């Protein structure tokens, strides 16, 4: 594997590191009512927790409300 370019080696190392971390899953309902499951890294989960806590909402509700924001905003 030492024959790989540096950027590919870094990418692969990052994948291995991420796969060793405990992922977090959040179930939520999309704006059309479709059930969704979002898998988050620990860093993403921490940030979503902070956003949800600041707004006194559940993580699921934050994602549901965010789904209603137009893409061009």
**Residue ranges of domains in the chain:** 21-73
Q: For residues 43 and 72, what is the distance between their CA atoms, to the nearest angstrom?
A: 26
* pLDDT one-digit tens code per residue, 30-59: 999 999 999 998 889 999 999 999 999 999
Residue 24 CA, chain-centre distance (Å), reads: 8
Handedness of CA 19, 41, 46, 6 (dihedral sign): positive
* pLDDT one-digit tens code per residue, 64-73: 999 999 888 5
Is this model's pTM higher than 0.85 or not? no
Q: For residues 61 and 28, what is the distance between their CA atoms, to the nearest angstrom?
A: 7
């Amino acid at each position: 594997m030492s024959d790989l370019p540096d950027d590919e080696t870094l990418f692969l190392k990052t994948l291995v590191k991420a796969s060793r971390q405990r992922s977090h899953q959040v179930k939520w309902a999309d704006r059309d009512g479709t059930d969704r499951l979002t898998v988050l890294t620990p860093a993403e989960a921490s940030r979503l927790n902070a956003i949800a806590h600041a707004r006194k909402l559940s993580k699921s509700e934050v994602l549901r409300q965010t789904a209603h924001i137009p893409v061009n905003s």
